[in-house]
A and B are shown apart, each in its own frame.
Chain A
């Protein structure tokens, strides 16, 4: 391709190892590209770090809790009272973050508080707390035990892998409520008659906004995940490249997603936080940061996209969303959303962020420092996601 600046990931890694790589955060890149243009920015900058921190419901962990004597083929398993999926090998389980505690009153007393669930179990584990495990079974010749209770800690567990089928949504709806009653959604509390507009992306810091066609991100991309190192496994569920885009190519509505995984044992409770969303359910706020290798001026131009150039749709969550009606009440930029008010339906509506920009900034800074300190090298993706293609890396 006819780019003026051409770099490979190998070359960037060599620079990182020599301590010569220029690493900037996505917010810093916005300024650099604005001031110097994408070509100069591409020549000057090697890596752009991104970040996002928000509830990501499609998350969970594969855990192997070790064999006991006599052995058990776990049939039903609970961690601190939260059911885990046990329909895999004997002592392997998957704990999903939206699974509430077995005795949770759910929405019986509306709106339910959902105080403890799978996300909280994961946070407790990474915080080093003891978690109560209960398993039942029906007994077999090879696994005769029918009941097991024990206290486990992350340190003692033979294996624990955070494995999230859908994270880091590239763009997300801005939610309003056009009914005359308050509603409780995964997009937070929405007051009636569009009294607030809630949005859930970190905008110009958000990983997939900075590489809109995922041409540097693919299978095996090494990332910041939950305070540790993780990898991109594959396209996340609902990953979609066929969406309306701006002239520059940025999705105007929810688009690509990532499936990610990483060893839970090196993650931290600061970046995996169990959350309780009133009237909706429990979940886990996940910290993710993706490094974007600045291979050429096109990558630089994308990585330099600012909040003014990133847009989303305003969607009604009282009637339209639950009924699958695809209707937008307006296109708004992340600059407007972050300003505190948007103008929709001829009225000024206060905006409410659900994604923490404070934490997203911190993730981008941490990832930047890891790379600068040579602790984190970039990986070359091994395959693109279906529906897109990678830049040639060599």
Chain B
């Protein structure tokens, strides 16, 4: 099983097509949408975890590219700025994977990057803006 978190950018022309459905039907891939939004210019942005057989996975990506969908593997890393964090807990309300959680012993807010899917929900939820997305050139792959 091959699994990756992808950032997909859909051009405005294809936003209304059931593309993710095709990934399931044609390439036998499973998906978990972590974030999906239509931007003001009508282009779509989706953060998705995609999993399946490596061959099928790559065929799926080729299919996406053919449609004009820009595909990037997650190219940023979410970090918690410990200088800024005040250990309030606001962020733990929205973190879908409990990557952000309260250590019950110390009542500190902890961040486990292993569990982070990069959905970015914590970034505006943090009242002191301590959650930061860092761009990693070395992680940007052509896939």
Using a CB–CB distance below 8 Å, which chain A residues touch chain B?
A: 53-55, 111, 113, 115, 188-191, 196, 198, 273-278, 283, 285, 338-340, 352-359, 361
Contacts and interface: CB of A to CB of B under 8 A. Distances in A.
Interface stretch (B19-27, B30-38, B54-62, B125-133): B125-133
Interface stretch (B63-71, B85-93, B135-143): B85-93
23 contacts: A55-B127, A111-B124, A188-B93, A189-B94, A190-B93, A198-B93, A275-B127, A275-B128, A276-B124, A276-B127, A278-B124, A278-B125, A285-B128, A340-B102, A340-B104, A352-B92, A353-B89, A354-B89, A355-B88, A356-B86, A356-B88, A358-B87, A358-B107
Contacts, number: 68
Contacts of B124: 111, 113, 276, 278
Given A198-B93, A285-B88, A357-B107, A273 B128 contact: yes
B112 interface: no
Q: Is the interface of B mostly helix, strand, loop or mixed?
A: loop
B125 A338 contact: no
A359 B87 contact: yes
Contacts of B106: 358
Interface string B79-120: 000000011111011100000001010111000000000000
Nearest to A283: B127
A198 B90 CA distance: 8
Best-surrounded residue of B88, B128, B129 (most CB of chain A within 10 A): B88
Contacts of A191: 93-94
Contacts of A357: 87, 107
B107 to A, nearest CB: 4
B14 to A, nearest CB: 25
Given A275-B127, A340-B102, A353-B107, A359 B93 contact: no
A179 B19 CA distance: 32
Nearest to A190: B93
Q: Which 6 A-B pairs have the closest CB atoms?
A: A357-B107, A353-B89, A275-B127, A358-B87, A352-B93, A356-B87
Interface of B: 86-90, 92-94, 102, 104, 106-108, 124-125, 127-129
Contacts of B129: 115, 276
Given A352-B92, A358-B108, A285 B102 contact: no
A285 B86 contact: yes
User: Which one of A55, A275, A340, A355 has the greatest number of beta carbons of chain B within 10 Å?
Assistant: A275
Contacts of A53: 86
Contacts of B89: 352-354, 356
A191 B89 CA distance: 15
B127 A353 contact: no
A339 to B, nearest CB: 7
Contact of A352 (B86, B90, B107): B90
Contacts of B125: 188-189, 278
A274 to B, nearest CB: 8
B83 to A, nearest CB: 10
Contacts of B93: 188-191, 196, 198, 352
Contact of A189 (B87, B88, B90, B128): B90
Contacts of B104: 338-340
A277 B94 CA distance: 13
A357 B89 CA distance: 10
B86 A273 contact: yes
Contacts of A190: 93
Nearest to B86: A356
A338 B88 contact: no
Contacts of A189: 90, 93-94, 125
